[in-house]
C-alpha cells in the first residue's frame, strides 16, 4: 500500500517538475527572442552611427566619436552573450520538434 502511495507521489512530482521546467524554458525563449531583437537594433544603430560619423560635416566630431566608441563597446558586450542566445535558439528548435511530434501522435 505504501509503495502505491509513493509511486503516485513520484508521478505527481515528476509531472509538476516537467511542467515547471517547460515554463522556465518558455521564459528563457521569450527573453532570448527579445535579446535577439535588441542585438539587431543595436547593430543597425551602430551602422547608422558609422555612416553619420563618416559624413564630411561630422567627421572628427568628438561627441559622435565617443558615441560610436560606446556603441561598439555595447555591441562587443552583446557578442559575449551570443553563445547564450544561440543555445536558447537550439532549445527552441528542439521544443518545436517535440510539439510537432505531439500533434502528429494525437
Query: 100 with 71: CB under 8 angstroms?
Result: no
The pLDDT of 81-104, averaged and rounded, is: 61
Where are the chain's structural domains? 2-105
Checking if the pLDDT of 18 tops 90, the result is yes
Residues 6+ apart with CB under 8 A from 64: 49, 52, 53, 58
Q: What is the pLDDT of residue 87?
A: 63
Q: Which long-range contacts (CB under 8 A, 24 or more apart) does 12-20 make?
A: none
pLDDT digits (tens, 9 = 90+) for 59-80: 677 877 787 788 778 877 777 7
Amino acid at each position: 500500500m505504501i509503495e502505491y502511495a509513493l509511486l503516485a507521489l513520484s508521478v505527481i512530482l515528476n509531472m509538476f517538475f516537467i511542467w515547471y521546467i517547460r515554463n522556465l524554458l518558455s521564459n528563457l525563449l521569450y527573453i532570448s527572442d527579445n535579446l535577439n531583437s535588441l542585438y539587431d537594433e543595436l547593430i543597425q544603430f551602430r551602422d547608422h552611427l558609422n555612416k553619420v560619423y563618416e559624413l564630411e560635416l561630422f567627421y572628427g566630431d568628438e561627441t559622435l566619436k565617443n558615441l560610436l566608441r560606446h556603441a561598439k563597446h555595447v555591441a562587443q558586450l552583446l557578442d559575449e552573450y551570443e553563445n547564450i542566445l544561440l543555445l536558447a535558439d537550439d532549445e527552441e528548435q528542439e521544443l518545436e520538434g517535440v510539439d510537432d511530434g505531439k500533434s502528429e501522435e494525437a
